A = this chain, B = another copy of it.
């Protein structure tokens, strides 16, 4: 870092002091560096109380590590330091304000993992706007529903998905994802509109929000059933979730995070703020359809962290470029329970797994599979990875999660299941990393918060050694001959077959047993030729393979080889789509 020119600094200071004096009532900072990066405090706060606000992480990083590369977009060869990025965000916030965005108003964002959404995640809280990130794989009617339900007043959309905003009656701003290079880009024009205020007044012109429990974002659930619900999160919750994620994943300033998990999914599990809290770097990646750019980025950008659902992780492991990474990577895996086999495969590549669990309603991850040092000594490799495939205990910023008896009394605070690895209950959570409410849906909120706990709808058993083993979403349980068979356990058994790349098990009506397991299988590339035209033989082979691994009622009755499985944009297998196959007999929901 070279010293700056004192004389020109003094001039700048004098000029900025003049501007600062004009800021009515706000605390102005006359040091040029401070003027740039210190947002105004809300008035009348106690000296010892500042509202928890995740935006402050960016401002702090810009101030203390101005020259650290904050964000890279390798696809178009652009990168920004923290100082540059913070000023870009500052200008964007002024631009939004000029276009009339007022505190509390919702702005919808439709964007892949490009800088635009990462900018807006920071810029909207600067003007107390509420971000509504949209899944880029939604259909136009779904987008229209969310735009209307959220009452969004503006849409900012990536050029590739511009058609999704066609029906919107309000202002639509299209980004060409040019990284500031294309002046004809509407998004860059929006930033340019705020540039003068950013350069002259800077961050002190933006005042931090007064109430830390204000709405920060509305994230619509990906909606495996019914209409999507808008999950309202707060500044306080986002702040504490981000610090928890930074602690659980051990992100530091030397870390580089690769955007594989969509940033629109629960605000990228609050990682935009875990990263800025640590003054780490982040690397954009527009598409994860092809895994080559991931493997290229891992080495080129010295990636130390990424998050991803199991299906994405399977794709990463099985890509031809997959090899042992020369440095340590930590990956958070969640979205569906990963198999022990997948965790083992990742760790053999030097990709260390932090197995977490959560929902959009819990800002993404809220529990972590706490690995004990004794495991390495006491357990054989199979049991070691079986434990790593379990949950889990709540993050440091949250209250502990519970597994409760579904029929127990809310007015008595519910009963926990017996920790015997057998009694199935529902996972419930509470505390600062639980959403505020469902937007405009007090009935759904009341139902989800029954008894003072958030009800995940996910079923689990508590192990005698304290861990939570997730069984299934309620509807994923297969009731076979009166026994509850966990589709996840069946899938875990099937995954051990050497020819299986991916599988999904759902309940299918059965005359005698009520329900029985139907398994959909994607074969590994090498096995596709082997079993081509021999589906019956594979059927026999697989059934024989899982027989010793599963009780009779849980064994798959049907085995079906398929070329692909229906997935949500976040990589979750859409079991309701698979169940539709059998919906002429029973309703799928």
Contact = CB atoms under 8 A, between A and B. Distances in A.
A17 B414 CA distance: 11
7 contacts: A4-B465, A9-B464, A34-B416, A38-B400, A47-B453, A48-B431, A60-B393
A213 B46 CA distance: 11
A399 B33 contact: no
Q: List 8 A-B pairs, minimum CB-CB distance, nearest first.
A: A27-B413, A31-B416, A64-B393, A48-B434, A50-B431, A3-B464, A47-B449, A30-B415
A556 B476 CA distance: 80
B449 A416 contact: no
Contacts of A52: 432
A60 to B, nearest CB: 7
Given A3-B464, A57-B396, A420 B9 contact: yes
Interface string A384-398: 000000000110100
Interface in A18-53: 21, 26-34, 38, 41, 45, 47-50, 52
A372 B413 contact: no
A435 interface: yes
A6 B420 contact: yes
A417 interface: yes
A374 B31 contact: no
B449 A1 contact: no
Contacts of A434: 47-48
A246 interface: yes
Nearest to A25: B413
Interface residues of A, number: 81
A466 interface: yes
Interface in A134-192: none
Nearest to A448: B47
A370 B64 contact: yes
A50 B465 contact: no
Interface string A212-252: 01000000000000000000001011000001001100101
A97 interface: no
A526 interface: no
A329 B417 CA distance: 43
A148 to B, nearest CB: 26
Nearest to A27: B413
A209 to B, nearest CB: 14
B416 A465 contact: no
A394 B449 CA distance: 38
A48 to B, nearest CB: 4
A24 to B, nearest CB: 11
A283 to B, nearest CB: 18
B27 A396 contact: no
A60 B394 contact: yes
Interface in A412-432: 412-413, 415-420, 430-432
B246 A31 contact: no
A393 B63 CA distance: 9
A241 to B, nearest CB: 11
A52 B31 CA distance: 34
A122 to B, nearest CB: 16
